[in-house]
Amino acid sequence: MSASTLPISPEPSGREGGREGIDLGGGSSGCCVWFEEDVYTGTTGCTTHACVVVSTCLCCGQHMLVLLCQSSPDVRSTDMWRIEHNPQRSDLLSHLLRSSRGVRSLYSCWCHDRLCSASVLQLRLRQEEKLRQGRSNDKKLKKTCSLFSAEQPSKQRNKPHTSSGPGEVLWSGEPLRVYQSQDPVLVPSLCWRRVNRKTSVQLHPDMQAARGTVLFVLNGKEHKVSPDRVPVDTRLVDYLRYHVHATGTKVMCREGGCGACIVVASAPDLDKGARRVFSVQACQLLVYACNDWEIQTIEYLGDRYSGYHRIQQALAGFYGTQCGYCSPGMCMTMYGETQRKGALTAQQVEEALDGNICRCTGYRPILDAFKSLALDATPKLKTQLADIEEAYKSKCPRTGELCAGKLSDGDCRGLTKPTAASDNCSSLNNSSVSYLPSIISSLFLSSEPTDLTADSRLGVSDSTARWFYPVSGKGVMNALRLATPQDNVLLVAGNTGSGVFKNDGPYTMFISLDKVPEMQKVTQTSTSLKVGARVPLSTCIDAFRAAASGPSSLRGYAHLNQIADHWQVVANTAVRNNGSWAGNLMLKNRHNDFPSDVFLTLSVCDATLLIGNAVTGKPEHLKVIDFPAYDMTKKVIVGMSIPPMPANTQIRTFKITPRAVNAHAYVNTAMRLPLNAEFMVTSTPTLLFGGLGGHFVSASKTEQFLVGKRLSEERVVQEAARRLADEAVPAVDPHQGSVEYRQSLVQSLFYKAVVSILRDRVSRELRSAGEKLKRGLNSGQQDFDANSDTWPIGQAIPKIESLIQVSGEAEYGDDVPLLPGELHGQFVVSHYADARIDRVDASQALSLPGVVDFVTAADIAGKNSYYAQGLSLLPKPDILFAVERTIYHSQPIGLVVAEDRDTAHAAAKLVTVSYSDIKKPVLHAKDALKHNRVRECVGGDGKPYEGIHLHASSMSADQIKMTHQIKGEMEVNTQYHFPMELVIARAIPIEDGYDIVCSTQFPNETQSAVAAVLNVPANSINLSVRRLGGAFGVKISRCNLAACAVAVAAAKTRRPVRVFMDLQTSMAAMGWREPYYATYDVTVDSTGKFKKVNVQMYSNTGHVDNESSIATAALALHNVYDSPVWKVVPKNLTTDCAANTWCRAPGHPESIAIVETIIEHVAAQLNMDPLAVREINLLPDSPDKGPNVFKNSILPLLKEKADIDRRKRRVAQFNKENRWRKRGLSVTPLRYDFPFIPYFRYTALVAIYAHDGTVAISHGGIEMGQGINTKVAQVAAAILGVPMDLIKIKPTNTVIGANSMVTGGSYGTDTVCHVSEL
């Protein structure tokens, strides 16, 4: 672009909107921005002619310092320069300068206005050059731009001048130090003259592109991220997976709740002057918030090339993996906590894993693995760990010796002299100062205190948003001042709130608070505890405990121990490590109905907020209790102050949640009660409640009632509870539980607080009401017999994939690298369950840059159904893309395909669908019965199944008189399958059809469904599966939704397409476990023995009953029990829901729940022990059915080893002594019939290579955590008589595994092993 395109005009030609500007004409669409400039010009000797410009942007008022230089020919255009000097100005900002043959400078304004944001300007100093050569006659320019050579009189050197008049020397003689890379080079001294002028700069449209770079270290390597290739709102997990291809970091919920994406980070701790190391959720962390961070992923911890970390070895050696999808996150959580705290106790190990979900393994082996590394590990665990570490030793490729393992900092133990602390220290922990060049570090430094920290620091920007990196509170204010009414501003601390309110945004302005020192400080004084706004929750917890009971504890802060306990169950470890208390309050401010524990607890502590107002530039003080209604436009929380509490003040906080931790409260409360020695309320108390809705916080009427009342009086407590019920009326919110339930919780929690305060003043049997439930350490044991004669078959060994699972090397569907030109898809789903589709408008989505196409039913060449045959004898269509009318809420209408995942998701939200004839959906079983949506159950022969009708005998009239008739009904609700790996599908057009990668349990069914949708032969579809990250039934046929959709998209675009379904779409568009509804009519005698059992059971199958489990449930309902008369009638119900499907032991949990509810009902009715009712109804041994194993073997052994009778007596005694807290112990049998079903068939190929005798096996089963590959390898090793390390299991595909049945129901592993044996 010619320099003439960007003229510098001494005089403006006009003003517009209060800003001077110039119109270049010619239809230019660029931005014209005016700058006021102080120009300092001079020469740097014979090589460089330079002009330093001190500029003030009229848009934002920010100052900047720019060096415009004309370099010698030997300076390359790519050279980067950094300049340091002391210009005696306090308002200069740092700039990156680019030297070139011409005059080129990185000239940027930190203004929020996109039109004058960072751009590279080419400026010619032709007139100045003419002056230097004496060839110009422009007297005005000579007067204002006179140059002073380096040979000025010495009396002018190093003598600063404060005069700033035109033509006068401001300062001179300062050496100009130029840094190229890291080596300083002195340039001859300059003498500068100040000149005032105004400059108009026309920004060419091409120059309004992305700019700026964020730098951080990832796994020991420096990464530079800029908006031209990584969008400004990118999450770290997406950067790792799709930009770096570090796919060991998994992703599932994208809400910060599952722990699959945990990484370990080190960030500057501006309070302590060191670095803070912590585990963090990569799905919440914005990559542009990682400036100056150091990040380690599971790839850094250890792998098969460099050796495994002992954390990884422990998890694998203790059999702590099944599907393995959660294992990298588990390891990184433990690694992060050991770096943050040092060696852990067993209790700390359990607390650390409060945000890590494992769906399939179970936590006993996981906890045992990590507890073996704890300070207080049991001798048994330590011994087992030592054996594991010894077993994993191998030859080191660098030393040739036995591998000594890998240190936490990545160094090889064999090359490093071990020390006591060597394995507890990380490279992240050892660096007190990062070696990274910070993007916001000042490039013009001064030895004198300056006001450089007052800038707003625009770091990166693109056409959609800007990132600011201020380094002081004043800088935050400056950045906020730049926000326009159209801006959506996000003050970035941990961004953990994005997991709660996922629809907030998109944001156009990000302001990072990580570099603001005053926001990271924690200060204790005798009168207050002050905490900066950017202090994470975990640091607050430590500070609270220190103030309450530590060596530096303060008087009046003992209650902070209780607050710390409460915050310990807010979110989870990784969220608390990075999420700030102020960010939590901002969620409450934006969403008043958010049941914030932080808000309630700080309010009850009478905390005061310090708020910075960017408009007035003045601080504001506000009580936390008033914060939800406070207007925070262009304001920021700077910190808070917590005062001490008087000695006679009692504080109590509670929360009632679905889970003990990592869950929002149904109702939470914080109460402050000023009391005298007689428990009289001496002044107005504070009774705060959350979870009731945004309309309610404080029970002010009850508070006034309690003044002057004694809590020790029963009538006072009862009246207060009654007033609370009248005053604290919850809003209707299905997510928070029923109104009645939450209203009762308000009363119960008040009563709980009173009892906890009165303590010994209440009777012993009532005291448990005031206690919080405290869970002790988990423990478990496993005993099994081993027959070494059959080994390796039956030998207990870690899974053959366990080590690559714990290191993140195991490859799952979305871990496969993107192909060139590969597209990403996102479903557009319906908003109504039963409505006519009038119009689908994708024009706005298709106009979004990066969007390639929108795929609908019109693009389907074959059948518009993603259900082929499945396991149904009478399959019915399950529509892929809705046509004319929706069938269920969130039914896919189409698929947006785009160049990247984020664009596809953004575009899907822009597709608009118009509806009419919207009908109220039928969703529940009872509603379906009212609408007569009953369908016959189909049996294994394809005929209607009438159920079980068994009449062994009849009762006489006298016998009937001696019986009890018990009737009831029950519902077994639905269940989300919850695979850790969500459904992934890829379709790749190839020369003879399509390669399909899909997370499926049933490759044959997926192949058939895709072939039918595309209307191509089955041999055109090549499907392969390496492994699944859990399945549990949802990947039998529901995965075909994604597989068929990407196949249609690939056929249309002729490019590879992938869909990695997000959690929200997965839960809404695909069916779950079937909900059951049952009614029962049971007759028993006085001993509780069944005489007649009559059950009518219904399965809610969704909109189509292809995969109903009701027939299986009917057969399994009797469990281990006997009755002379059984009548079980199963029926299906269709509703306006997604088609429900098989889920882990389909039909069995439902039927067992029904019959066991009947047992409990009988026991309650007859006032009997439920176990006694179970025992009297156990099936007798019979020639036909064989012995009752539960009765003869399992139950007697369980009674003995679990000490059932003694524990039951202890439970009874405890319940007698405690009115409110109860214990229970139940023995519940579960029978799972396992007959061989002929259509469970599989194929296998065993290849033995002549080269070295190694073996490769591919079979028709699917490895999804159950260990099928390990067992197949064991069988093959035994049959072939070779070591297992000579055997490798290859991925399943539809060529070798053609026509293989679904892997499920516990049939796959044993059958595939048998096939491999043959």
Q: Residues 611-660: pLDDT tens digits?
A: 999 999 999 999 999 999 999 999 999 999 999 999 999 999 999 999 98
CB 630 within 8 A of CB 539: no
Q: What is the pLDDT of residues 1161-1205, one digit of tens each?
A: 999 999 999 999 999 999 999 887 788 899 999 999 999 999 999
DSSP one-letter code for 1001: S
- Which residues are CB-contacts of 1040 (< 8 A; sequence separation ≥ 6)? 866, 867, 868, 998, 1000, 1005, 1006, 1009, 1010
| pLDDT tier at 833, thresholds 50, 70, 90 | very high
| pLDDT tier at 389, thresholds 50, 70, 90 | confident
The structure tokens listed for 1251 are 């080269």
- Give the Cα separation of 361 and 496 in Å (integer): 28
Determine the pLDDT at residue 746. Answer: 98
Other C-beta atoms lying within 10 Å of the C-beta of residue 1013: 25
- Give the Cα separation of 674 and 709 in Å (integer): 11
Cα torsion through 490, 492, 496, 502, rounded to 10: 20
**Worst-scoring range by mean pLDDT, 134-138, 235-239, 705-709, 1030-1034?**
134-138
N-term to C-term CA, the chain: 74
The structure tokens listed for 539 are 């640091």
Amino acid letter, 618 = K
The candidate with the shortest Cα–Cα distance to 730, out of 708, 757, 697, is 697
Give the residue-averaged pLDDT of 250-256: 96
Render 1157-1205 in DSSP notation, one character per residue.
HHHHHHHHHHT--HHHHHHHTBPPPBTTTB--HIIIIIHHHHHHHTTHH
pLDDT exceeds 90 at position 14? no
Q: State the sign of the Cα–Cα–Cα–Cα dihedral 124, 126, 132, 137.
A: negative
pLDDT exceeds 90 at position 404? no
Amino acid letter, 343 = A
Return the bridge partners of 121, or none: 105
Determine the pLDDT at residue 412. Answer: 55
Determine the pLDDT at residue 447. Answer: 28
CB 1090 within 8 A of CB 1124: yes
DSSP one-letter code for 668: E
For 340, 373, 380, the CA distances from 370, given in Å and listed in that order, are 16, 5, 13
Tokens 């080893």 map to which residue? 1201
Cα 997 from chain centroid? 25
**Worst-scoring range by mean pLDDT, 491-500, 769-778, 897-906?**
769-778
The structure tokens listed for 1311 are 């059958």
Return the bridge partners of 1121, or none: 1178
Amino acid letter, 1017 = P
**Worst-scoring range by mean pLDDT, 313-322, 991-1000, 1229-1238?**
1229-1238
- Give the Cα separation of 652 and 559 in Å (integer): 9
- Which residues are CB-contacts of 988 (< 8 A; sequence separation ≥ 6)? 819, 994, 995, 996, 997, 1050, 1056
The structure tokens listed for 950 are 């068994």
Counting beta carbons within 10 angstroms of the beta carbon of residue 1257, is it exposed (0 to 12), middle (13 to 18) or buried (19 or more)? Answer: buried
Give the residue-averaged pLDDT of 18-45: 31
| pLDDT tier at 161, thresholds 50, 70, 90 | very low
Determine the pLDDT at residue 315. Answer: 97
Determine the pLDDT at residue 760. Answer: 92
- Give the Cα separation of 719 and 709 in Å (integer): 11
The structure tokens listed for 1140 are 């429900």
Q: State the sign of the Cα–Cα–Cα–Cα dihedral 343, 346, 352, 353.
A: positive
The structure tokens listed for 420 are 């006591």
CB 896 within 8 A of CB 828: yes
Determine the pLDDT at residue 174. Answer: 34
The full length of the chain comes to 1318
Q: What is the pLDDT of residues 39-81, one digit of tens each?
A: 333 333 333 334 444 443 433 344 444 444 433 333 333 232 3
Determine the pLDDT at residue 775. Answer: 85
- Give the Cα separation of 892 and 1069 in Å (integer): 7
Buried b (16+ CB within 10 A) or exposed e, 243-257: ebebbbbbbbbbbbb
- Give the Cα separation of 1041 and 129 in Å (integer): 69
CB 1057 within 8 A of CB 986: yes
- Give the Cα separation of 33 and 238 in Å (integer): 36
Three-state helix/strand/coil letters over 399-434: CCCECCCECCCCCEHHHCCCCCCHHHCCHHHHCCCC
Whether a cis peptide bond, with omega within 30° of 0, leads into 792 is yes
**Worst-scoring range by mean pLDDT, 49-58, 710-719, 953-962, 988-997?**
49-58
pLDDT exceeds 90 at position 847? yes
- Which residues are CB-contacts of 162 (< 8 A; sequence separation ≥ 6)? none
The candidate with the shortest Cα–Cα distance to 317, out of 383, 232, 273, 265, is 383
The candidate with the shortest Cα–Cα distance to 145, out of 123, 130, 160, is 130
- Give the Cα separation of 1156 and 752 in Å (integer): 33
Determine the pLDDT at residue 1185. Answer: 76
Determine the pLDDT at residue 86. Answer: 33
The candidate with the shortest Cα–Cα distance to 824, out of 242, 283, 23, 163, is 242
- Give the Cα separation of 1061 and 1007 in Å (integer): 19
Determine the pLDDT at residue 818. Answer: 95
- Give the Cα separation of 755 and 711 in Å (integer): 9
Determine the pLDDT at residue 159. Answer: 36
Determine the pLDDT at residue 211. Answer: 65
pLDDT exceeds 70 at position 443? no
- Give the Cα separation of 1030 and 1131 in Å (integer): 30
CB 42 within 8 A of CB 53: no
Determine the pLDDT at residue 1305. Answer: 84
For 248, 321, 388, 1038, 1209, the CA distances from 406, given in Å and listed in that order, are 18, 21, 15, 42, 51
- Give the Cα separation of 1091 and 394 in Å (integer): 66
Q: Which residue has the higher pLDDT, 212 or 450?
A: 212
For 104, 947, 949, 1123, 1175, the CA distances from 1184, given in Å and listed in that order, are 94, 20, 18, 16, 21
Mean pLDDT of the chain: 82
Cα torsion through 453, 456, 460, 465, rounded to 10: 160
- Which helix (H) or strand (E) segment holds residue 825: the answer is strand 823-829
Share of the chain above pLDDT 70, in %: 78
- Give the Cα separation of 1191 and 1183 in Å (integer): 16
Amino acid letter, 780 = G
DSSP one-letter code for 1000: -
Give the residue-averaged pLDDT of 478-494: 94
Cα torsion through 1207, 1209, 1215, 1221, rounded to 10: 0
| pLDDT tier at 958, thresholds 50, 70, 90 | low
Q: Which residue has the higher pLDDT, 2 or 820?
A: 820
Cα 266 from chain centroid? 19
Return the bridge partners of 604, or none: none
The structure tokens listed for 626 are 């008033």
Determine the pLDDT at residue 946. Answer: 79
- Give the Cα separation of 1187 and 445 in Å (integer): 87
| pLDDT tier at 491, thresholds 50, 70, 90 | very high
Q: Which residue has the higher pLDDT, 374 or 130?
A: 374
| pLDDT tier at 961, thresholds 50, 70, 90 | low
pLDDT exceeds 50 at position 149? no
Determine the pLDDT at residue 952. Answer: 63
Determine the pLDDT at residue 551. Answer: 86
Parallel/antiparallel/unpaired status of strands 509-512 and 489-492: parallel
Q: What is the pLDDT of residues 584-616, one digit of tens each?
A: 999 999 999 999 999 999 999 999 999 999 999
Determine the pLDDT at residue 954. Answer: 63
> How many helical (H) and strand (E) elements, i.e. helices and strands, does the chain have?
35, 49
DSSP one-letter code for 1195: H
- Give the Cα separation of 438 and 253 in Å (integer): 32
pLDDT exceeds 60 at position 2? no
- Give the Cα separation of 799 and 796 in Å (integer): 9
In the Cβ-directed half-sphere of 608, how many Cα atoms lie within 13 Å? 11
- Give the Cα separation of 146 and 42 in Å (integer): 8
Q: Measure the CA angle with vertex 816, ends 810 and 821; round to 5°.
A: 170
pLDDT exceeds 50 at position 804? yes
Determine the pLDDT at residue 953. Answer: 61
Counting beta carbons within 10 angstroms of the beta carbon of residue 715, is it exposed (0 to 12), middle (13 to 18) or buried (19 or more)? Answer: exposed
Determine the pLDDT at residue 411. Answer: 54
- Which residues are CB-contacts of 1216 (< 8 A; sequence separation ≥ 6)? none
Determine the pLDDT at residue 457. Answer: 66
